[in-house]
Structures are given as structure tokens and as C-alpha cells.
Amino acid sequence: MESGVESITKPSGNYSTRAPRTAVIGVSGYAGGELARLLLHHPRLTGAIPCFLGRSGDSGATTYLEELHPQLGVPGTAQSHKVHPFNWDFLTDSGIEFLFMATPHEQSREWAPEALARGIRVIDLSGAWRLKEARNHAVYKLEDADPSLAAKLQAEAVYGCPELHREEIRTARLVANPGCYPTSVILALAPLVKAGLLDLNREIICDSKSGVSGAGKATTAKTHFMYAADNFSAYNVFGHRHTGELFEQLHLTPDQIQFTPHLLPIPRGILSTIYTRLKSPSTAEAISKVMEDFYKNGPMVRLHPTPHLPQIQHIVRTNFCDVGFALAKDGKRLILVSCLDNLLKGAAGQAVQNLNVMCGWNEQEGLL
């Protein structure tokens, strides 16, 4: 089918009385498996079982979700959820309205325009559509068959952080799910940046650590057991591809924020420790008030009362982002700590949260 902006339909549908048809491309990965689990148990999708599809190039042989993710199996030996070979006509004939793309950046960049042209709203978990500025998304080295169309869709794409862009997400056709690291940093810093409390002449230091699943399912020399176990290492210093999201969403420059990722020898979870300076001395009560006001309508952010700080063990397998802080006695040095599960609030859970917003449902549905 020929893609084009003119042929793209506008979002429609009343999902308060009926369940939309959903599909997941790339269900074989870690994030894809979590998406499948959440969608299969989502109370609003009862009676509308999601369609699951493999990625381009996957074997055309019949396989089942329960083979890829045995933890999703039901009692007995039944395998009830077939994983279909990827096919556009299958999606159209199935009446798919929302397409989750848990695919590599290149595939998402290529396929999203086609999905939109067929009237399917897209929630993309890759980095293909997150970044507006060319200097930032250049890190992905993406090539577009139709650069003009891609530029129009890039301008339209909404960064899928409900806490920042809830209203735009409601009517969006293309939602770019945030990266896991940026979600942890942005949710901690956004209230303070918006309130103008930070001294941006003093560099913000973001020291972030992630479990190994953040690197995806395919093993590499630095993610297999013999390297990661009993180890702790920094990587991609001054060059991690998620850094552009911090610049664009927090409206900061490379001189104002430094992000360094680390690999933890654990399966999942992210902890970001963020070092900042305030413009003028403040109190813990005043900082708490700023955070509470910002997140009063943000049900998936849990604020820890100072001096208590978040820990990875408390957010694993939840869709919460936990945020806490410590303020020095001088009232100016402020350290924020943010924790989330990289496969849930950092990927699949946030994608379902975006679906909830797009359908007009409570953001927490299917996520608690």
C-alpha cells in the first residue's frame, strides 16, 4: 500500500463501551513479552484478545506465545495464543486499531508510516520517533525511503511521557515511548526545572544504573553472564543515545546536564542518582511541595518523603517510578534518587499507560 499523509485517517472510536483491537509486533523480546502479559490481563481488553506478530525476517513457522514466554502459559498443555508472521494485510483484516511496535529502530521508522496510512494508531517502543532535533536523532543513523513524509510524521509524533504530555497523547496517532533511562531522569528533574529552582549554571550530573535486560534479549560480549555477573561498569560515556531525550524534554543543553549509564549485575531495574544545585537555599518542605503539586495527577509516580530514598527492590515488576531526594544542610545541594523497572515503566508498562490515555481510560488500569 502506498503511504502518504493525505491517506492517513484521524483517530476515532469510543472505547468506553467497546474494547479496541490491539496488536504487538516483536513479541519475542523482553519488552514484547511484558506487553503481551499486560494486554492479556487488561480489564478493558476482555473479549478482544491482542494479536501477536513476529518481526520482519522471523521464521514463518507457526509458533505460540507460550513457547516464547513460558511464564505466560495456562494450566495444562494448551497453547492458545498464536504468534503470526508479520503481514500488513493480516493487521488490516483483523481490524487492528492500536499497534505496539517492540521492534528495532530501523523497522519502526520504516513501518510506522505504513501503519498510520492504514488508519492504525502506533505506540512505538523504539527510539525511531522520540527525537525532534536532527542533531539528536542522528545517533540512530536512520535512513528514510520518503524523507519528506518521515519529517512530517516526526513533527507530529508525541513523546509518550503521560506526566509531561498527557493532553497531546490523548489524540496522538504516533506515540514515541520514552527510553528507560530518560524516564527515570526526566520524572525526577521535570518538576524542579519547570519551577525554575535549579542553578543551571552548575552542571546536573545524572549517574544511572540499569539491569542487564535493558540491553535487550540478544546477547553481546558485555551482557552475557561471565561479563555482567559480579561486575559493575560504566559505558557509552559522553555518547549514550538516550541523552538527546534529556536535552529535548528538559530543555537543557549539553553544558547543563551530564548523563552516564552503568550496567548492574541484576536482571532488571534502574536507579538514577542525580546531583543538582539550587539557585537559592530552600527547605525539604518546599521541595516536597513542588514535587507533590507537579504529580498530583500522576498516578504512576510515587514520591518518597525525605529522608527516605527509593530502592530497586521496591519497583521491580511494577509500573511505578519512585522518586525521593536529600537536601544538604546548606539548603542548596540537592540529590534526587529515581527508580523504575526498565521493562515496565521504562518500556511496556508505559506503553500500556499511553494506551489508557489514548482510549480515555484511567491511567492505572491494567497496571496495578
pLDDT at 7: 37
Q: Are residues 128 and 197 in the same domain?
A: no
Regarding predicted confidence, which is higher, 364 or 80? 364
Residues of the chain with pLDDT > 90, as a percent, come to 73
- Give the pLDDT confidence score for residue 110 in this predicted structure: 94
Task: Output the nine-digit C-alpha cell for 215.
Answer: 540491553
Q: Which amino acid is at 211?
A: G
| pLDDT confidence tier of residue 230, bands split at 50, 70 and 90 | confident
**pLDDT surpassing 60 at residue 274:** yes
What residues make up the domain containing 239?
180-340
Greatest Cα-to-Cα distance within the chain, rounded to the nearest angstrom: 64
State how many domains the chain has.
2
Higher pLDDT, 78 or 324: 324
- Sheet (strand 174-176) strand order: 63-64, 82-84, 51-53, 22-25, 98-101, 121-124, 174-176, 158-159
CATH code of the domain containing 47: 3.40.50.720
pLDDT of 205 = 97
Q: Is the pLDDT of residue 1 over 60?
A: no
CB 132 within 8 A of CB 248: yes
Answer yes or no: are the C-beta atoms of 292 and 316 closer than 8 Å.
no
Task: With a cut of 60, say whether residue 198 has pLDDT above it.
Answer: yes
Please report, for the domain that includes residue 223, its CATH number.
3.30.360.10
Angle, alpha carbons 136-356-27 (nearest 5°): 65
Residues 188 and 307 placed together within one structural domain of the fold: yes
Average pLDDT in the chain: 90
C-alpha angle 183-315-177 in degrees, rounded to nearest 5: 30
- Look at residue 139 and tell me whether its pLDDT is greater than 90: no
Assigned domain for 368 exists: no
- Domain match, 61 and 152 both: yes
Residue 4 — pLDDT band, cuts 50, 70, 90? very low
- pLDDT for the residue numbered 59: 55
Are both 223 and 324 inside the same structural domain?
yes
- Distance (Å, whole) CA 43 – CA 118: 27
Report the C-alpha gap between 303 and 295 in whole angstroms. 9
In a domain, residue 367? The reply is no
- 331 and 207 co-located in one domain: yes
Label each residue of the chain as H, E or C: CCCCHHHCCCCCCCCCCCCCCEEEECCCCHHHHHHHHHHHCCHHHCCCCCEEECCCCCCCCCEEHHHHCHHHCCCCCCCCCEEECCCHHHHHHCCCCEEEECCCHHHHHHHHHHHHHCCCEEEECCCCCCCCCHHHHHHHCCCCCCHHHHHHHHHHCEECCHHHHHHHHHCCCEEECCCHHHHHHHHHHHHHHHHCCECCCCCEEEEEEECHHHHCCCCCCCCCHHHHCCCCEECCCCCCCCHHHHHHHHCCCCCCEEEEEEECCCCCCEEEEEEEEECCCCCHHHHHHHHHHHCCCCCCEEECCCCCCCCHHHCCCCCCEEEEEEECCCCCEEEEEEEECCCCCCCHHHHHHHHHHHHCCCCCCCCC
Q: Which of 161, 180, 339, 359 is catalytic?
A: 180
> Do both 191 and 136 map to the same domain?
no
- The pLDDT value recorded for residue 96 is 96
What is the rounded average pLDDT of the residues 293-317?
96
Mark whether 156 and 194 lie in a shared domain: no
Closest CA to 357 of 281, 297, 309, 287: 297
Q: How confident is the model at residue 232 (pLDDT cuts 50, 70, 90)?
A: confident
Residue 74 pLDDT greater than 90, yes or no: no
- The structure's pTM equals 0.92
| Residues 33 and 65 reside in one and the same domain | yes
Number of CB atoms found within 10 A of residue 155's CB: 8
Mean pLDDT of 312-337: 98
Average pLDDT on 274-288 reads 98
- Least confident range from 15-24, 186-195, 293-302, 320-329: namely 15-24
Q: Is the pLDDT of residue 9 over 50?
A: no
Tell whether 130 and 237 lie within a shared domain: no
Q: Is the pLDDT of residue 56 over 80?
A: no
Radius of gyration of the chain (CA): 20
The answer as to whether 366 is a domain residue is: no
Q: Classify burial at 139, counting beta carbons within 10 Å of its beta carbon; exposed 0-12, middle 13-18, buried 19 or more.
A: middle
Q: Residue 8 pLDDT more than 50?
A: no
Q: Is 321 a catalytic residue?
A: no
Residues 189, 169 share a domain = no
Q: Is the pLDDT of residue 11 over 60?
A: no
